Structure 1
Amino acid sequence: MTLLHSQLLRILALPALVFGLTACDGSIHNAPCDAVDNATPYCGLQAPEDIESTPDGRYLILSHFGGLTSAHSGSIGLFDTLDSSHRTLFPLDQNQDMSSTELWGDENCITPPAASFSPHGIHLSQRGDQRWQLLVVNHGNREAVEFFEWLPNSKEILWRGCAQFPEGSYLNDVVASPEGGLLVSHMFDKHSKLELIQSLFGSNHGHVWYWRRNQMPEVLMGSEGSFANGLQISPDGRYLFINMWADGEVVKVDRRSGTVLGRVSISYPDNSAWLQDGRLLVTSQEMGGFLPTICTSVENSYCPSPFKLVAVDPDTLESEILYRHEGAPMGAGTVGVQNGKDIYVGSYAGDRLLRVSFP
């Protein structure tokens, strides 16, 4: 594929995802929910765009993507890897009182998400008081990061407030910082189609916001790039790994100095997670044709577009492709999370979660 072909594809397809325009839908309708080789699908789910594993390793917290606008709502779900059952964690009931007397976010954010709740990137971490915090990027009704508390005993989540960002912010993924704050990626101005198109040609409209309670969000030094997408933070909190989707690279930034320490080329990197061997697992999309690689619906059986799972050494940034897939039983991978010898893969489109089994 030529560079011009790739750029034209991005210009034509991505505005449809972001602004709700009409575009070619490459999804497969009424597809069987059958395993193919070492890939087993679990169907009947709404687009699990991001995944976090619970501390005991048994459950997966799923971010059921509704899209980048408020046109479709989503939810947070819980998938049991032992019996493959699934239930909704939030929202449970529109009449349920979700208000909280304990807020972890901005002091002026006292209203829980509305029925238009539309989650995107999520991150689970342990707070200083040893309680578990689930951060959720929300596009519904407000552009914010919602705070939830994960309760391991009851397998429930409680809303604990939100962090809001300057007008025009368009968030994607989030990680907690060990000092009690958070870092969230910003793609481009939410209201500007021009910035979207410029971003696809390499303009650095994307960056990472650094938020701390009772302080104004700041742009993290060294985090500028095109279409900032997935984030991951090193276990010691010093380094941030930013997936620049349109640039086709993962950038390693020293949070203390803002110095860019290195870059690794990966096609359209989406979300990242840590493997048990200490490497970073980056899920990336590949352009395999003209327009069918972009699926604009979140309701069809699956999107067949190709994706790959790439392991990256966080020190040397050397990369290795662990898995590449296209077509049935699921494509358009956005995130991969290790669970024992398996990797569970989510997607921004379709109705299924994929388990890839390795020897």
Structure 2
Amino acid sequence: MTRPRTRLRTAGAVGATLLTLILAGCTAGDGGPGSPAAGKTSQAPARQSFINGVQRPEDLFAVPGTPWVVVSSQKHGKEPGKLEAVDSTNRQVTEVWPAHAPAPRPDRKRYPDCPGPPDAATVAPHGIDVRTTASDRAELLVVNHGGREAIEAFDLDLSKARPVATWVGCVLMPSHTSGNGVASLPDGSGFAVTNFFDPARKDSFKAMFDREDTGDVRVWRTGNGWRTVPGSAMGGPNGLLVTPDGNAVIVAAWPGRRVVRLPLAGGPLRTIAKLDFLPDNLRWGTDGTILTTGQDLTYQDIVTCNAGEGTDCPAGYNIMRIDPANSEVSTVFRSKDPTFGLATVAAPVGNEIWVGTLGADRIARVRDRGEHHE
């Protein structure tokens, strides 16, 4: 990064940029139970390598029982956003939407209020989730900011040489909300979404860094529409998971530097992990633990860094493993690699963890062998 420093000049500009990219920030954690310093750390080595040519991979999801990793590729320069897939056996990258996609097939029964397909020229994918529906099919949910605030739904056919993504419907977000993470409900009746902030509010990002509540968690079910989870108000809720029993959500409380649990029926937030960075997306590990990563940024860093397009963007990243049962936090991998930063997701792929980023057109591959520093 050698270009002159680029600054965003207004809070509104900061909000507009981060609405599209949803960066995370970092200040030091406060330690104590659940902090990285208090967690156990394994000592086996890990190794980092890269898959190049993947456009700004903000979120990743490995489709169970297949070699495919679905990628939410954000807009980069003149390149519009899209959905890509990477074959984990040979690391080949292919676009699955809008290129190579069949004609839309609207599911009016499941998504009766959807006005129609999104504009492929302006689509801005963000968080994603995949739910297996058959041996060779899955439902793909995508948070979209391009042209509309919505959750886009796709049928993913995995029986072909490459995944085929057919758009089947959408759910428009309620007014004055902006989705970030999405997770299907286990029974297939709908999904949970983190409402990051009100995009019409000019000072949303400053407010969340000032510890104000800017968003919450919403649940949508077919036939019932939207519901706000009672007690879910927080500043900048980011990634989320639904527990396997469908009774609770686990949320990355982004500016709060913590991961919290909340019953879907409503109730007090319970912190299950405190971190020394602001956590972005969350992914289940194969052993029932949670993997997360994030970016080492303060609010002023965000203004200076200009969402990865300017200078002074901190490099490196951490991958952390959280045990939701006992709040134990352990370090999987630490890197100070100057070519890779602004990490957004740590997703398990076989015996590796793949890391997405807003700062480069590449994915980092880390062998999951315990703590290592590079």
| TM superposition score normalised by structure 1 | 0.83
> Which stretches in structure 2 are left out of the alignment for 5+ residues?
1-7, 19-45, 370-374
Q: CA deviation at 1:57?
A: 4.1
The match for 1:132 among 125, 128, 138 is 138
Does 2:258 match 1:253? no
State the partner residue of 1:77.
Answer: 84
The match for 1:206 among 215, 221, 236 is 215
CA distance in 1, matches of 2:311, 2:52: 8
| TM superposition score normalised by structure 2 | 0.80
Q: CA deviation at 1:81?
A: 1.2
Does 2:183 match 1:175? yes
State the partner residue of 1:48.
Answer: 57
CA distance in 2, matches of 1:189, 1:72: 26
Does 2:190 match 1:184? no
Distance 1:340 1:15, change over 3 A: farther
Distance 1:47 1:295, change over 3 A: farther
Q: CA deviation at 1:123?
A: 0.3
Q: Secondary structure at the match of 1:353?
A: strand
Does 2:271 match 1:262? yes
State the partner residue of 1:25.
Answer: none
State the partner residue of 2:253.
Answer: 244
With 297-306 and 70-79 compared, the bigger mean Cα shift is at 297-306
CA distance in 1, matches of 2:212, 2:131: 33
Matched-pair contact (CA < 8 Å) for 1:105–1:147? no
State the partner residue of 2:41.
Answer: none
- For 1:1-359, what aligned pairs fall within 5 Å after superposition? 16-20=13-17, 38-66=47-75, 73-92=80-99, 98-103=103-108, 105-114=110-119, 115-127=121-133, 131-154=137-160, 155-179=163-187, 180-266=189-275, 267-287=277-297, 291=301, 295-296=305-306, 304-359=314-369
CA distance in 2, matches of 1:12, 1:251: 33
Deviations 1:197-234 (A, max 9, x none): 21121111110111112333111123211111000112
Supply the AA of the counterpart residue of 1:277: D
Matched-pair contact (CA < 8 Å) for 2:229–2:266? no
Q: CA deviation at 1:261?
A: 3.6
Distance 1:288 1:84, change over 3 A: same
CA distance in 2, matches of 1:289, 1:205: 15
> Which stretches in structure 1 are left out of the alignment for 5+ residues?
1-10, 22-36
CA distance in 2, matches of 1:88, 1:300: 27
Distance 1:295 1:72, change over 3 A: farther
| Count of residue pairs brought into register by the alignment | 331
Matched-pair contact (CA < 8 Å) for 1:230–1:242? yes
With 160-169 and 142-151 compared, the bigger mean Cα shift is at 160-169
CA distance in 1, matches of 2:307, 2:206: 21
Between the aligned residues of both structures, percent identity stands at 27
Matched-pair contact (CA < 8 Å) for 1:41–1:353? yes
Distance 1:211 1:129, change over 3 A: farther
CA distance in 1, matches of 2:9, 2:17: 12
Q: CA deviation at 1:157?
A: 1.1
Q: Secondary structure at the match of 1:196?
A: helix
CA distance in 1, matches of 2:252, 2:103: 33
Q: CA deviation at 1:131?
A: 4.7
Matched-pair contact (CA < 8 Å) for 2:279–2:295? yes
Matched-pair contact (CA < 8 Å) for 1:104–1:161? no
Q: CA deviation at 1:13?
A: 9.6
Higher relative contact order (CA 8 A, sep 6+): 2
Q: CA deviation at 1:288?
A: 8.4
Deviations 1:121-166 (A, max 9, x none): 0000134999511100000011000001111102211111001122
Matched-pair contact (CA < 8 Å) for 1:295–1:349? no
Distance 1:220 1:290, change over 3 A: closer
CA distance in 1, matches of 2:59, 2:110: 22
Instruction: Quote the RMSD (CA, aligned, Å).
Output: 3.1
Matched-pair contact (CA < 8 Å) for 1:104–1:147? no
Supply the AA of the counterpart residue of 1:100: R
Matched-pair contact (CA < 8 Å) for 1:76–1:90? yes
Distance 1:213 1:108, change over 3 A: same
State the partner residue of 1:26.
Answer: none
Q: Secondary structure at the match of 1:172?
A: strand
Q: Secondary structure at the match of 2:203?
A: helix
